[in-house]
Amino acid sequence: MSDASAGAASPKGIAPGPVTDWLVAHVPDVKPPLDFALIAGGHSNLTYRVGDATGRKLVLRRPPLGAVLATAHDMGREHRIIAALASSGVPVPPALGLCSDPAVNGAPFYVMAFVEGVVLDLGSTVEKHFRPEQRREIGHHVAEVLARLHAVDVDRIGLGDLARREDYVPRQLKRWRTQWEQSKTRELPAMEEVYAALQAAIPVQRGSGIVHGDYRLGNMLTGSDARIAAVLDWELCTLGDPLADLGYLMNNWAEPGERGPESRGAALAPTVAGGFPARREMLDLYAERTGRDVSGVDYYRAFSYWRLAAIVEGVLARYLKGVMGGTADTGAFRAQVDGLAAAALERVRALGA
């Protein structure tokens, strides 16, 4: 077995010796010893930076450290998606290998190339790295990449059987209602009211495509050229109604000084730094590039708030169970869920006004 990390302590979730041996055997030109570091920021699958003796950097993704929901955290599926998208024109990190044998590291994992760029997770990060005129370029490219993703021929790239293409919203309502029931840490009446309202007003799905499921600046690497270098975190990706991604992006596209229900779900959105296209302009850019009618986007915004509340509640439950490889402010997660549920409720009530 290799001397994996030159005596340095490896983070939870990494068996340094077996993982090093696997990487040397399956990824060309990896030179041990290797060092591993948990990349902070994600709250679902765990992401690690891997460095080798030559200074080369890789990225490794694995599930959380304990029991997970039966259909979640599928490493093979996530690896398959980014590998297929490599030929699509959508910027993704190059996929380098998939380990399906849990004996190596306690769970399956996959490895991808390290892509240079900045994760724009906060307004302060934007201000540090990009001038206001660059931010407008970033926004335009975000809309362009989303339009490109939704135009991908899934059959051509081998993802035609990834999921059902029709009835996206009904399937998602069922899935996330189930997750809410399995993960909730308390009763929250707003979640039930929103679910009933969404169920009663499901829009007609017009067309289908790849739905990323978490499309926002915080899940992208932005290059110094003000272009999106890679879209990350494909674990929620499926096939279905592209407008779901658009609604989600709008919830995370807060404008400077914005207040109201949007700010509860997007208070820390990087776009509050200013200089980005306004939300209306982003909608128009997407509509122009895709030819889609975006007039019904508010339903998808309400749905996205509700779904995200269910997701964050699941993250909260995993932290409370100690399976996320670290600690977190669980009170802040609980407050976020409350705010998202309230924002969803306000939006669905407005839909019926």
Ordered by where they begin, the domains of the chain are 16-113 (3.30.200.20), 123-351 (3.90.1200.10)
Q: Exposed, middle or buried: residue 324 (CB in 10 Å: 0-12, 13-18, 19+)?
A: buried
pLDDT of 72 reads: 56
- Give the orientation angle of helix 168-183 with respect to helix 297-321, to 10 degrees: 30
Q: Cα–Cα distance between 262 and 251 in angstroms, integer?
A: 6
Query: Is a pLDDT exceeding 80 seen at residue 44?
Result: no
Here the tokens at position 319 are: 């932290």
Here the tokens at position 56 are: 């080369």
Average pLDDT over residues 10-20: 95
- Tokens 């007609």 map to which residue? 204
Query: Is a pLDDT exceeding 50 seen at residue 5?
Result: no
Average pLDDT over residues 240-265: 84
pLDDT single digits (tens) 183-240: 999 999 999 999 999 999 999 999 999 999 999 999 999 999 999 999 999 999 999 9
Q: Cα–Cα distance between 145 and 286 in angstroms, integer?
A: 9
SS3 249: helix
pLDDT single digits (tens) 264-312: 555 568 999 999 999 999 999 999 999 999 999 999 999 999 999 999 9
pLDDT over 70 percentage in the chain: 90
pLDDT over 90 percentage in the chain: 80
Query: Is a pLDDT exceeding 50 seen at residue 133?
Result: yes
Looking at the DSSP bridge assignments, the partners of residue 43 are: none
Query: Is a pLDDT exceeding 70 seen at residue 122?
Result: yes
Looking at the DSSP bridge assignments, the partners of residue 11 are: none
Strand segments, DSSP code E, in 33-121 are 35-38, 46-51, 57-62, 95-99, 109-113
pLDDT of 320 reads: 85
pLDDT single digits (tens) 160-173: 999 999 999 999 99
Q: Cα–Cα distance between 51 and 46 in angstroms, integer?
A: 17
pLDDT of 210 reads: 98
Backbone angles phi, psi at 112, to 5 degrees: -135, 165
Least confident of 8-12, 64-68, 288-292, 323-327: 323-327
pLDDT of 68 reads: 52
